[in-house]
Structure 1
Amino acid sequence: MDIGMVGLGRMGANMAARLKRGGHRVAGFDPGAAAREAAQQAHGLETFDSLAALVAALPAPRVLWLMVPAGAAVDATLDALGPLLRAGDIVVDGGNSNYKDSQRRAAQCRGSGIHFLDCGTSGGVWGLAEGYSLMVGGEESACERLRPLLETLAPAPDRGWGRVGPSGAGHFAKMVHNGIEYGMMQAYAEGFAIMQRKESLALDLPQVAEIWRHGSVVRSWLLDLAAEALEDNPALEGIAPYVADSGEGRWTVAEAIELDVSAPVITLSLMERLRSRDKDSFADKMLAALRDRFGGHGVKRG
């Protein structure tokens, strides 16, 4: 099957390479010349310097897979593709878009006879070798047409992927997936922090992580990665205590509130990420000032 990959950052290029290895013809486009050149050199991908050239190189009905940043970049790409595509073509958004945006875009494409699928994609930098977890939303017939591609991208043809519902469902499932990921990562981080602080026991954190990886009820791929990180750098030296977020955790918490679902672990894990970025916490200063005012506890001067 022929496919056009739009966006040749690390994940887009890796997905294109996995498809190519699976026997599919993959042509790619990225607005950055450096990204195109890197994809060519690393994976031997066929690339084009414009969307028009990419679309022209694909046989109809065309399949375009977008791996571009969520938000305005997706809309801009769809606007540019609009005049180039024809009824029956399929566009897949494989990035981390908000599911409400995906529903809107699906309706927009439907008006032109173009099929739009939202595909929540998990696997990160390991997907090229291990395969990707794919949560697809949209028309069942369009998803079925892409079965050969999805089976190639997944860890195995019969697992790790599926159509999870109508338009928006794929990105909604990925949003919740990432919210769960926040909570799991926070729990591991807190547990290792407690062990690291217990200096009297001199715990070997890489050893503990390795023990937990086998037979333990908390074993997981995230723990595998934690064990690797601790083995390489037991004290995590040189890593700033600043944790970014890309939006999915915020969206998950907002949906939980809207749906009246209690989600304290995911919510607090998001709050901890926000807290990690506060180099000069006004809230903590206020706490110290209040303790001094009502109890005369004094404050530490900085």
Structure 2
Amino acid sequence: MEFAIVGLGRMGGNMARRLARKGMRIAVMNRTFDVTEALVKETGHVACVDYAALIATLDTPRMIWLMLPAGDVTEAALTALLPLLSPGDLIVDGANSHYKEDAPRASRCAHFGVEFVDAGVSGGVWGLENGYCIMFGGSKAAAARLQPYMEALAPTPATGWLHTGPVGSGHYVKMVHNGIEYGMMQAFAEGFALMKDKSEYALDLAAISELWRHGSVVRSWLLDLSAAFLAEDQTLEAIEPFVADSGEGRWTALASIEQGIPAPVMTLALAMRFATQGKHDYAAKLLAKMRQGFGGHAIKHS
């Protein structure tokens, strides 16, 4: 046994389950051990209580896939793991980490003779059934070692995974992927809002979304998901109009500025998420007061 997943949340846990379905037996570890034990009972994988047990369980050269939150948690895992590993071992950072962190991490790993791979993973909660889309950066040798696991995690052995290039390229491509996702989601949201507002037509949004899924140029998985929830509830009255943003949307906008490449759709989609978070409230109040000042327009008071 040479492969392990550390971090058994929604993504990491389901990735471990998918590997089990493909007949692969791996070591697994989670901060909360009862989560590890429950997954092992379900999958037949090997439970490890801590990093020392994980290292002892795996044959060398080892491959350890970190599926942890980006930032301090991933950094702490690397700090704990590296002194325990052996030359020739390999670490995959599967978090939504900033691509600029990858080269320094690869350098740290190289100091211990350890390979580093950065992997962007898309697929969400549906990845277990449908497979994951994985874009990863690292050496060709590392890519060859990981290939059997990529083939098992992806929708098919030949599709849904790509060695994108050197270290950093996987997280960079995933960052851009998420920026595009922001823009697509915003366009659908605005379009359906326009149709809902056209009350004289009494448009059936569920029927329209289902219609567009078949033959339309805007058909997509996002549309599939929209059609599914609109079929249950078109009013969405119980939903608070708050949309969080991940770091990757912000990083994409910053990259467009740094590289001098215009990306207005992705940047404005990010700004619209800020607006839902109450971060536009004060500006909106100022706009209302300005309109009152120059035109005497009425102001609504809460």
TM-score by length of 2: 0.97
CA distance in 2, matches of 1:184, 1:94: 24
Contact 1:62 1:90 in 2 (8 A): yes
Residue 66 of structure 2: aligned partner:
66
Q: Which residue of 2 aligns with 1:145?
A: 145
> What CA distance in whole angstroms lies between the structure 2 residues aligned with 1:55 and 1:87?
13
Q: Structure 2 unaligned segments of length 5 or more: list them.
A: none
Change (3 A) 1:37 1:242: farther
Aligned residue for 1:219?
Answer: 219
Q: Amino acid of the residue matched to residue 111 of structure 2?
A: G
Alignment of 1:134-283 (within 5 A): 134-278=134-278, 281-283=281-283
SS of structure 2 residue aligned to 1:65: strand
Identity, % of aligned pairs?
53
Aligned positions of 1:10-49 closer than 5 A: 10-49=10-49
| Contact 1:19/1:153 (<8 A) preserved | yes
Amino acid at match of 2:199: E
C-alpha distance after superposition, 1:197-231 (max 9, x if no partner): 11111011110000000000000011000000111
- Number of aligned positions between the proteins: 302
Distance in 2 between the 1:82 and 1:111 partners?
Answer: 9
Partners of 2:188 and 2:41 in 1: how far apart?
38
Name the residue aligned to 1:126: 126
CA distance in 1, matches of 2:124, 2:55: 27
The alpha-carbon deviation at position 22 of structure 1 amounts to: 1.5
Task: State the Cα deviation string for residues 114-172 of structure 1 (Å, max 9, x = none).
Answer: 00000110011111111111101011111111111111111111111111010100000
Question: What displacement does 1:82 show?
Answer: 1.1
- Secondary structure in 1 matching 2:26: strand
1:90 Cα offset (Å): 0.7
How far did residue 39 of structure 1 move? 2.0
Does the 8 Å contact 1:2/1:25 carry over to 2? no
CA–CA distance in structure 2, aligned partners of residues 41 and 292 of structure 1: 66
Does the Cα contact within 8 Å between 1:2 and 1:24 map onto a contact in 2?
no
Per the TM alignment, residue 44 of structure 1 is displaced from its structure 2 partner at its CA by: 4.2
How much has 1:2 moved relative to structure 2? 3.2
User: What is the distance in 1 between the residues matched to 2:42 and 2:301?
Assistant: 54
Q: Residues 242 and 42 of structure 1: is their aligned pair in 2 closer, same or farther, counting only changes over 3 Å?
A: farther
- Does the 8 Å contact 2:99/2:169 carry over to 1? yes
What CA distance in whole angstroms lies between the structure 1 residues aligned with 2:143 and 2:112?
Answer: 18
Q: Which residue is equivalent to 1:285?
A: 285
Structure 1: tracts of 5 or more residues without a match: none
SS at match of 1:118: strand
TM-score using structure 1 length: 0.97
**What amino acid is aligned across from residue 79 of structure 1 in structure 2?**
T
Paired with 1:157 and 1:222, the residues of 2 have a C-alpha distance of 24
Distance in 2, matches of 1:11 and 1:20, equals: 14
Question: How far apart in 1 are the matches of 2:33 and 2:190?
Answer: 42
Secondary structure of the structure 2 residue equivalent to 1:215 = coil
The 8 Å contact of residues 179 and 249 in structure 1, kept in 2 or not, is answered as yes
CA contact (8 A) 2:243 2:276 kept: yes
CA distance in 1, matches of 2:56, 2:232: 47
* TM-align CA RMSD: 1.3
Q: Mark the CA change 1:44 to 1:204 in structure 2 (over 3 Å): closer, same or farther.
A: farther
AA aligned opposite 1:188 = F
Whichever residue aligns with residue 6 of structure 1, its letter is: V
- Residue type matched to 2:129 in 1? A
CA contact (8 A) 1:3 1:24 kept: no
2:51 — aligned with what?
A: 51
8 A Cα contact 1:118 1:137, kept in partner: yes
Q: Which amino acid in the other structure matches residue 186 of structure 1?
A: Q
